Amino acid sequence: MGKLLDTMDLSDLSHLRLLPHKDYLRTPIIGHYFAKHAVEEPKHDHDFFEIQICASGQGWQKHEKGDFRFNRGRALLIRPGAWHYHHKNEQVECYICCFGAEILKSELIWTLENPVFNRLLWRDDPLNHSGVTELEIPESILVPTIKTLQLLIDTYDDSALFARYQKISYLTLILSYLAEAYSLKNQELIPSESNPTHPAIKRCIGIIEESISAEWSTNNLAEKLNIAPSYLCRLFKKALDLSPIEYLTQTRARRASHLLLNTELPISEIGIEVGWPDPNYFARRFRTIFGVSATEYRKRQRKHMEHLSLKNYD
C-alpha cells in the first residue's frame, strides 16, 4: 500500500488530489485498499464515479436516501455529484475503485447498449433517485471482484507501456461483476433483450463533450445530426431517460464541478468554459443541481480533501 501511495497523485480524481504528491496520474482509473478503516468523514461528493466494496468489518454509509449497512459483500456505486459519508466504522476493510465519467463516453461507450450496464451506469437508480446504487455481492462474485481490484491497485506504474489498457480491462471486469450482482437482485428492471443504441446518440454525446461551451439547443443538435428534433428527443429518452438538454445540463454541471476542484479558475471563467457565460444563470443552475453555490462547493470539497489528507494518509 505504501508503494502505491508514494507513486500516485489523484489530480484527475478527488481521492488522488488528497495526496500531497506532485507526479500526476494520467489514467483516471484508480484502485485503493483501506485496512481497518475507522475514519469518521464529512458529507462529500465527487466529480467521478466511485465504487466502494466492503471486504470485512462493519460500518455505515449515509447517502441521500438514508443509512446503508456496510459489511462484507455490500457495495455502493456512487455517481458524480452524489453525496455520501462513512460513519460508525468498526475495523472496516474497504476496496475502492474510482474512474472518470469520460471513460464511459469513450472506451466504454458500448455499455450504453447492454441493458444491465445501461441501467447501472447511465441512468439513476429508479428505486431511490439519489445517484447511489446499493449492491449486495454474493460470495461467488465477491471473491473474483476483490482479486481484480487488487490487480488494479498493483498496476500503479502509469508510465508502463500497457498500463492504461490493463486498467481499462480490470475496470471492465469489475463493472461486469457488479452488473452480474445487480441483475440478480433487480431482474424486473432489466429488459430481456438488448436494444442497439442509435448511432445518433453516440454522435450527439461526442459532439456535446467536444464542444460543451457552444450554444446548443435540441434544434441545432438535431440539425448537426441531420435528424428531426422530436426524433432526437425520443432516442435520448429511450437510451438514457433524459432529453438532450437534460443530458447537456448534467454534462456541463459535471465539467463545472471538475474545474472547481481541479483548477484555480475564477467561477466566472468556469461558467464561460462550460457554456453558461451569464454569471446569474450559472449560479442558479449550479445551485439547483448541487444544492449549494459554486463558491461553497469548492470550499466544502477542499475541506474534505484536507480532512482525508490528515486522517487517512498520515
pLDDT tens track for 101-150: 889 988 999 998 888 999 899 986 555 567 899 999 999 999 999 999 99
CATH 1.10.10.60 domain extents, the chain: 199-302
Assign 194 a pLDDT band (cuts: 50, 70, 90). Answer: low
Cα 244 to Cα 78, 79, 156, 216, 282, distances in angstroms = 23, 19, 37, 10, 19
The answer as to CATH 2.60.120.280 being correct for domain 2-190 is yes
CATH 2.60.120.280 domain extents, the chain: 2-190
Residue among 86, 47, 65, 49 at smallest CA distance from 297? 47
Kindly report the average pLDDT of the chain as a whole number: 83
Assign 207 a pLDDT band (cuts: 50, 70, 90). Answer: very high
Whether the predicted model's global pTM rises above the 0.85 cut: no
Q: What three-state secondary structure class fits 138?
A: coil
What torsion do the CA atoms of 82, 87, 92, 94 make, to the nearest 10 degrees?
A: 10
pLDDT at 136: 96
Assign 283 a pLDDT band (cuts: 50, 70, 90). Answer: very high
Assign 218 a pLDDT band (cuts: 50, 70, 90). Answer: very high
Per-residue pLDDT for 189 more than 90?
Answer: no
Q: Tell me which residue has cell 457495495.
A: 75
Q: What three-state secondary structure class fits 97?
A: strand
Per-residue pLDDT for 29 more than 50?
Answer: yes
The lowest-confidence range among 12-21, 23-32, 165-174 is 12-21
**CA-based torsion, 35, 80, 174, 302: positive or negative:** negative
More confidently predicted of 183 and 188: 183
> What percent of the chain has a predicted confidence (pLDDT) above 90?
50
CATH annotation of 199-302: 1.10.10.60
Q: How far apart are CA 299 and CA 82, in angstroms?
A: 17
Per-residue pLDDT for 89 more than 90?
Answer: no
Averaged over 281-292, what is the pLDDT? Answer: 90
